[in-house]
Amino acid sequence: MVNVTYDASETLIINDDSTGESFVYNPGDIAWTLAGTALVWIMIPGVGYFYSGLLRRKNALSMIYLSMMTVAMVSFQWFFWGYSLAFSETAGPFIGDLAHFGLKGVLGQPSVGSSRIPAIVFCVYQLMFAAITPILAIGAVAERGRLGPLMVFVFIWSTIVYDPIACWTWNPAGWVFTLGGLDFAGGTPVHISSGTAGLAISIYLGKRRGFGTERLAYKPHNTSYVVLGTVFLWFGWFGFNGGSALSANLRAANACIITNLAASVGGLTWMLWDWRLERKWSAVGFCSGAIAGLVAITPASGFVGSPAAVLFGVAAGTICNFATQLKFKFGYDDTLDIYASHAIGGVVGNILTGLFAQASIAGSDGITVIPGGWLDHNYRQLGIQLADSVSGMSYSFVMTTIICWIMHFIPGLEMKASEEAEILGIDEAEMGEFAYDYVGIDSELGVKGDLMGEGAVGGNREPDHNIPQHALHHTDDKTAHSETSEPEKRAEIA
């Protein structure tokens, strides 16, 4: 039991009756961290909308659904044992134990992340990081993955991949933390792990129908969704990076300003690279660059100043842009360029952190002491950052591949959808619900005109008996459908 009191300045004092200890917290630090929790939460549906907008409309709803499913599944996993595996005080160099199984003993004592906030606040804040990481990864199943097995995959992947990497990066007992690795807000645990997992999933699932042909040379079905998702992500990233200070202080403020700066420069850089090809100002290009800039600045946001943030944005906007071509060079079908944006962007951020980290920036919270990076003549830091990046990427790729293949041989847990489901769209095949009343599948089915041969533009045609019959009720042939008269059609529309 805890006994809560306040002093004359409204400072929170928690007295642990079982141990006789007292802990003092500033309500402002708690409030800022909880605000950061809410900001990071909104990023998760932001990922769903961002991914949804980039796909074809027949798969639009499934990505939004997956973002919400992931929040729910990881919330349970984090309660069950995720938090304990990542942040137990008695953890080893690689992973924690079950000292806090079921959140046992997680309440008013100082958190393992910072003595300035209680464990329960740190727990819910870190839950949001644990929840956003799998949805970044499972975007790789877009347009060809089964939704049911993904619930199992998210639980297993969070336990076997995310929790150990989070432990070795942020737990004081973790090997990267002990070695002196600098990762303020999740370059390796969030972005490198999810981006590399996305690559492993893409390779496991194989290529979509028509990969490398004009069939898949489609444009995003809803650019407004892409922009909306970017807005949610950019907005939430202030809590993602700024909140990682775990206190309302100058370091948090600096993290916020360089987060915004890196996103802005990254968006402009990517857009300009795209402009050189088509002489068009691409909103999708700008949003992609902004995300790349945000990814790169994540590990550095508590360690570098504003001038360095400009370089982070330029580097991420350039390198991640060109990295999108890797899938064509090596022949893997990364539908949403998750590896290029998150894994490559995370590595860029980690390396630049090793070069530009400054002890003076880290110390702006009045607590943190680091030797800095190359700017502070700590040349060893770059090697540590590289070791962290390679370890996170290798571990995530190998373990994700193993998880996918074990599930492949378990009845009912095969992640790849059937070819028919891919043709119809995951929304139709897996959900029976749609993002829109009007979803086009004629082009996928190879149909010109009316599916049933009546009222088609260009004359009548025989029904295509190779078309799944249950697909016929949901088509985008505006001229087709029946022998209903025009007045009747107008009445139905009204």
Question: Which of 14-23, 156-165, 371-380, 382-391 has the weakest average pLDDT?
Answer: 14-23
113 and 177 Cβ atoms separated by less than 8 Å: no
Mean pLDDT estimate for the chain: 89
Q: Which of 142, 134, 135, 201 is nearest to 163 (CA)?
A: 134
Note the pLDDT of residue 278: 86
Confidence at 486, pLDDT banded by 50, 70, 90: very low
**pLDDT over 90 at 470, yes or no:** no
Note the pLDDT of residue 471: 44
Q: Using a pLDDT cut of 90, give the percent of the chain over it.
A: 80
**pLDDT over 80 at 439, yes or no:** no
Whole-angstrom distance, CA of residue 308 vs CA of residue 284: 25
Query: Span 90-107, mean pLDDT?
Result: 96
Joined tokens for residue 142: 């877009």
Confidence at 209, pLDDT banded by 50, 70, 90: confident
Whole-angstrom distance, CA of residue 88 vs CA of residue 106: 10
Residue with tokens 């090809």: 277
Tell me: the pLDDT tens digits for 414-429? 999 999 999 999 999 9
**pLDDT over 60 at 449, yes or no:** no
Tell me: the pLDDT tens digits for 369-390? 999 999 999 999 999 999 999 9
Note the pLDDT of residue 445: 61
Note the pLDDT of residue 17: 76
Whole-angstrom distance, CA of residue 368 vs CA of residue 381: 16
492 and 484 Cβ atoms separated by less than 8 Å: yes
Joined tokens for residue 373: 């990076």
Joined tokens for residue 384: 């540590």
**pLDDT over 70 at 462, yes or no:** no
Whole-angstrom distance, CA of residue 258 vs CA of residue 200: 32
Q: Which residues contact 393 (CB under 8 A, 6 or more apart)?
A: 192, 196, 343, 347
Residue with tokens 């909103």: 283
| Domain ranges (residues) in the chain | 28-408, 441-493
247 and 365 Cβ atoms separated by less than 8 Å: yes
Whole-angstrom distance, CA of residue 300 vs CA of residue 384: 14
**pLDDT over 80 at 208, yes or no:** yes
Note the pLDDT of residue 21: 85
Q: Does domain 28-408 have CATH number 1.10.3430.10?
A: yes
Confidence at 442, pLDDT banded by 50, 70, 90: low
